[in-house]
Amino acid sequence: MKVKVLWRWWAKALGQKAVDNDRESDYVAVIRTILFSTYLVTNLFIVAGVIRHWNGSKVYIIVPVEQQSHQMPQIPPNVL
DSSP string, the chain: --HHHHHHHHHHHH-S-SSS-HHHHHHHHHHHHHHHHHHHHHHHHHHHHHHHTTT-S--------PPPSSPPPPPPTTT-
- Is residue 37 assigned to a domain? yes
- Is residue 39 assigned to a domain? yes
pLDDT tens track for 32-76: 999 999 999 999 999 999 888 887 777 778 888 777 666 766 777
Q: Residue 39: which domain range?
A: 3-47
- Is residue 74 assigned to a domain? no
- Is residue 55 assigned to a domain? no
Q: Report residue 23's pLDDT band, with 50, 70 and 90 as the boundaries.
A: confident
For the chain, what is the domain count? 1
- Is residue 58 assigned to a domain? no
